[in-house]
Structure 1
Amino acid sequence: MPTTIHSSWLPLFQQEFSKDYISQLLSYLEQQQNDGITIYPPTSMWFKVFEMPLSDIKLIIVGQDPYINENQAMGLSFSVPKSEKIPPSLRNIYKELESDLELSSPQHGDLSRWFNAESIFLLNASLTVEAGKAGSHLKKGWQQFTAAAIEFINQRASNTVFLAWGAFAHKCCSNIDLNKHAVIKTSHPSPLGAYKHMKTAPAFFESKCFSKANSYLLSKGRNAIDWRID
């Protein structure tokens, strides 16, 4: 059981960590490390997102995998340390922020302020990945665990926004109770997806998903998010 998680998540962790799939997942990851295989992010960051109290969450952004290259993954979806080059999807996120809210693009990709100051829950569906191999751990058990986490938020929180970018995130958010929460769907902000109009969602570019999220929060008596990075 991780020691850094906030106590509000204990029921989720106690429930899931008693199941065989978690034991098998953690054994698999330990074996990979023993075999000298590099896993991202570092072990201390696997459960970083769960340091946020459940009741603080205003908005959830669902990613798929941690970044697969050295020094990028930091336990928060889409975020990279300040020392690293801004990845293409995050650069497009910044473009839409500029278009939607007239925020100038930051010079780095560290989204820690969103997490720490604005209560944005930056969740990847897989909390680890093998270096250089996208999707390598998703079906080893993480997808089951993070689905349980999303359902935990769905049941125990209220008046939160799920930003679902792309078909994978749409599926992850398919069971959200829309009487209690909002789900804002767009295409994925990747270079291939940002302009793509989907059957069930608009293109990410020009979607105004950030101002729409704030409109929902304000309508529920919650504070709007300050989307600045710095």
Structure 2
Amino acid sequence: MGVQVADLPPGWQPTVRAFLATPAGQALEAFLAAERVAGARVYPPDPFRALRLTAPEAVRVVILGQDPYHGPGQAEGLAFSVAPGRPHPPSLRNLLAERARDLGLPPPRSGSLLAWAGRGVLLLNTTLTVRDGEPASHAGRGWEALSAALLDQVAADPAPKVFLLWGAHAQRLGERIAQAGPAHLRLEANHPSPLSARRPPRPFLGCGHFGLAQAWLQARGRPLDGGWTLPADAA
């Protein structure tokens, strides 16, 4: 998969190793190897970057995406985030528009959400790779089982966390969180895609999730240091 499990933060390693030992994990590795042999262009270059940047003990917020952006140079291994210097895809534009509306923050020049990962926001896609120009091309190949196991691990830790579940896909996985007990906050809205961001019953635009998450964590002594700011916010 282009990464050694030993390179990941120690807290993630048992879950990832256990997955790779399963038939689903072995089948996924074989599939990705076949993609490489066939010369397929697969994004992002580091599928485990979200785990590398946010250790399990640091997680305060989980944002669940679906699969990485499928255009050249876009995906940087973090849900909804795009590599610096790249145009903002529509879902990211709506995400940043809601952040601006909710918190009064200026629009950032860059669409990279890397700073959030360093504050304890796990930006996890449920499918961690994609073939160039083919959205969802690696869905159903096993990544979802790993994402579910990682989600279970995070939810089993009793330290309070916020799960931002945008869209039916994330909300289906988020049903697992309820089984972990009442320690965590689940906030649900439509996906920020232009197809659903304004639609009832829970439009993404206007949901106020950024402020709600920060206030809830602040009240429990686990705020995001620096909040939802980004270093590239316009003056």
- Structure 1 unaligned spans of 5+: none
Q: Match for 2:10 among 3, 7, 12?
A: 7
1:219 aligned partner:
219
1:127 matched to which residue of 2?
Answer: 128
CA distance in 2, matches of 1:35, 1:175: 36
Give the root-mean-square deviation of aligned CA atoms: 1.2
Aligned to 1:84: 86
Q: Is the 8 A contact 1:55 1:157 kept in 2?
A: no
Q: Which moved more, 1:15-24 or 1:140-149?
A: 15-24
The alignment partner of 1:135 has SS state of: coil
Does structure 1 residue 194 correspond to structure 2 residue 194? Answer: no
Q: Which structure ranks higher in relative contact order (CA pairs < 8 Å, sequence separation ≥ 6)?
A: 2
Conserved 8 A contact 1:72-1:80: yes
Deviation for aligned residue 1:132: 1.2
Alignment identity in percent?
32
- Contact 1:68–1:134 (CA under 8 A) maintained in structure 2: yes
Q: 2:138 matched to 1:137?
A: yes
Deviation of 1:125 after TM superposition, in Å, equals: 0.2
Seen in structure 2, the aligned counterparts of structure 1 residues 112 and 219 have a Cα distance that, compared at 3 Å, is: same
CA distance in 2, matches of 1:134, 1:167: 17
Runs ≥4 residues deviating over 4 A: none
CA deviation after TM superposition for structure 1 residue 157, in Å: 4.7
Match of 2:67 in 1: 65
Asked if structure 2 preserves the Cα contact closer than 8 Å seen for 1:40 and 1:73, the reply is yes
- Could you tell me whether the CA contact under 8 Å between 1:41 and 1:66 is conserved in 2? yes
Instruction: Say if 1:39 and 1:157 are closer, same or farther in 2 by CA, change over 3 A.
Output: farther
> Is residue 217–residue 224 contact of structure 2 (8 Å, CA) maintained in 1?
yes
CA distance in 2 between counterparts of 1:82 and 1:15 reads: 34
Alpha-carbon offset, residue 178 of structure 1: 4.5
Whole-angstrom distance in 2 between the partners of 1:64 and 1:164: 11
Name structure 2 gaps, 5 residues minimum. none
Matched length: 224
TM-score where L is the length of structure 2: 0.92
What is the aligned partner in structure 1 of residue 161 from structure 2? 160
TM-score by length of 1: 0.94
d(CA) in 1 for partners of 2:158 and 2:106?
A: 32
Contact (CA 8 Å) 1:215, 1:224: kept in 2 or not?
Answer: no
- The residue identity in structure 2 corresponding to 1:222 is R
Q: Is the 8 A contact 2:24 2:142 kept in 1?
A: yes
Q: Deviations over 1:88-128 (max 9, x none)?
A: 11111111111100001101101111112x21100000000
- Sort the Cα spacing of 1:5 and 1:146 in 2 relative to 1 into closer, same or farther, 3 A: same
SS of 1:145 mapped into structure 2: helix
Q: Provide the secondary structure at the position in 1 that maps to 2:7.
A: coil
